Structure formats: structure tokens, C-alpha cells
Amino acid sequence: MIYVDVSVTRGDFFLDVKFEASATGCTAIFGASGSGKSTVLDLINGSLRPDRGRITLGDRVLIDTERGINLPPEQRAIGWVPQDGLLFPHLKVSANLDFGARRSKHRHGPSREQIIETLGLGSLLDRWPRQLSGGERQRVALGRALLANPSLLLLDEPLAALDAPRKNEIVGLLDQIKQRFFIPSIHVTHSLAEVLRLADQLVLLDGGAVIASGNIQDLLGRTDTPLLSMRNDIGSLLSLRRLSDQAEDAGFEADLDGQRVYLPSSATSIGEHFRAYVPANEVIIATQTPMGLSVRNILRGAIGRIRDRGDGTVLVEIELGPQRLLSAVTPAAVRSLGLVVGLEVFALIKSVSLDAPAGFRLLEAS
């Protein structure tokens, strides 16, 4: 478990945060610019000392101001990947990677060969940083951080300076790292697409304070989640399991807690679980069994909550067993359909509206 409970003042900015994160998977810290996201990472990696607080990584205490404990950065076993990679310009790629390896006191992590293969760095080893593209620099920075054999990987908006194709490339590599090397990470971003693609847990930060935190699926799909429920691209994150092979003209079939969902494509294999994102404005509500429609996904559920956002749209939270689905409708639709909490309804979703893997289309559009 990663535990953070710290406060610090930097100029006229005051940060006071407290959250816990699992020692597995990816925790995303999400918020607008200036909310304190990067400051949290500075406190965790030791480049900034808090005025008060405690940070632990498993049973290791990184800092405890009451007990006078403050491990220097080089003793925290943390890998750090900043926005621009910050490679050493006077060292070739191979030497930059070796610098990361020299920081490791243990050799139980992934080998140099594994990391070079996973990140596709073999053809870059003899190049200078100035000869690399933005995506290549970030891959080398990831490799250098991983070769330090970290107990935790900190990523400070590593995709911010990249175009959409390179963003998808790096996100895919980050997902491979999570699945293959089992190194927990904290990923700072203001991109919902990155959160959808990578995060298992979510910490929402605003004005230097944590306003919500928890499992990502518990926070998405709700009408009242701070920072998220007022976004134009708000939607729901569904957990699905692939059931069928992909037919050329009909896509493939997946299971959502006993209900069938049809999608146009997927990179998963039969039996594998995956996540799909559904924008709220792509979900239609019917109060009677729909017939004669081209829409293939018709999911039965019950209204759990209704919230008028005050901007001409109403968010309707539909309970699909343990999972939730958001639909954005007009106040007039709520009145004419008689939508109330507890009412059984049908949620209609076009197959092409499902974004799977979750966040892929949002990332392409960013």
C-alpha cells in the first residue's frame, strides 16, 4: 500500500493531501493545471520536503516529519519519468540506460535485455538524445527509470508533448509494463483518455486538495463525481468479457454481467476481460422494450440517481447490476418519459459508440 498524508506551502500555493493507493496497478492523479499534481510527485520522490506529513511505500517509511525521517531521493527506490524525459544530453542512449541500472541496488527486477526489447530500444542505443523524436525520448526515459529497479514508478504527464499516434504508442507501452513487470505506478495527468487507458485507481485533485479517490469504476458512471460529472465527455467505464470471434460484418460479442454487448472490434482474445468507455451523450433511454431499431445494444437496468447539471442536460445514472451507465438527456425528456429513481428502463447504445480499449478514441482525438 502507498500512503500519502502531507502538506506544504510553495509561495502562495498550499497543498494538503491525503490518500492511499494500491501497491499494484496504476493510480492516476487527475486534475486541472495548477491543482498540485506535480507537487505531489515531488513530495513522493523526495525532491521537495513537506512542512508536515508522512509517506510510506509498503512497510518502508519515506518521510515522517514527526519522527525526523526523510530518506534522500536515491534511497527511495523510485523511478521518475518527467514530461520531456530529461535525458542526459552528453550521454548516448545506451549510457543513459546504464545510469538507471547503476542506481539499482538489487537485481531482481526486469533485465536490461527485457526492457530494451519491451520498449523497442535496440536500434536507438548508439544515438544521442538530440537525434531522438519526442516519442523515442520518452521510451528511453521509461527504460532508464525501469532499469533502476524501482518499487514505484512516477510519471509526470509523460504524454503532454506528444502527438496522438505517439501518445497511443507510449500508452500501449505503459500498459505492457504494468502487465509484464508488475511495478506500481502513479500517473499524473489532466487527460481523461490517459486515465481511461491506464488507471485502476483515481485520485481527483483540485486546488491542492483531494476531493475524491477510489477505484476508477466506482468514480466513473456517477452523476455526482467532482471534476468529472460536469465534463462534456463524461461517461461510464464498463468491464466486459469477450465471448465470440470477430465476424467480418458483425463485430464480436461480449458479456456484461449476464447481458450481451456487441462491439465492432477488439484486440482481446475470447474469455479475456477488457474495459469500454461509453460517453453519456451516446446513451438513449427507453421506458418500453424497443423494437425495429438498428441499435444492437439494448441493456436492461433501473434508474439509480438523476441530477440536473443546470446547463440544459440531466445526467441519469442507470444501474446495470453491479455496474453503472450514465445517460445525458434533456429536462424535457425526463418529464415526458416520467423518469424517476427506481424506474426500470432500457439503455440503447450503438456498437460504434463503445470506445474499446477504453480511451483509445479519446486519445486519438486529443
Cβ contact 323:215 at 8 Å = no
What kind and span of H or E run contains 279? strand 273-279
Q: Which of 173, 209, 223 lies closest to 194 in space, CA to CA?
A: 173
The per-residue pLDDT of the chain, averaged, comes to 91
Residue with cell 481527483: 204
Q: Can you give the residue ranges of every domain in the chain?
A: 2-219, 275-365
Per-residue pLDDT, averaged over 217-229, amounts to: 90
Cβ contact 100:149 at 8 Å = no
CATH of the domain spanning 2-219, picked from 3.40.228.10, 3.40.50.720, 3.30.9.10, 3.40.50.300: 3.40.50.300
Question: Between residues 91 and 246, which one has the greater pLDDT?
Answer: 91
- Banded model confidence at residue 268, pLDDT cuts 50, 70, 90: confident
- Banded model confidence at residue 78, pLDDT cuts 50, 70, 90: very high
Residues 6+ apart with CB under 8 A from 297: 260, 261, 262, 347, 348, 349, 350, 351, 354
- Banded model confidence at residue 103, pLDDT cuts 50, 70, 90: low
Decide if 2-219 and 275-365 have a common fold.
no
User: What is the CATH code for 275-365?
Assistant: 2.40.50.100
Query: Of the given ranges (97-106, 133-142, 179-188), which has the lowest mean pLDDT?
Result: 97-106
pLDDT at 266: 67
- Banded model confidence at residue 315, pLDDT cuts 50, 70, 90: very high
Look up the pTM and report it.
0.90
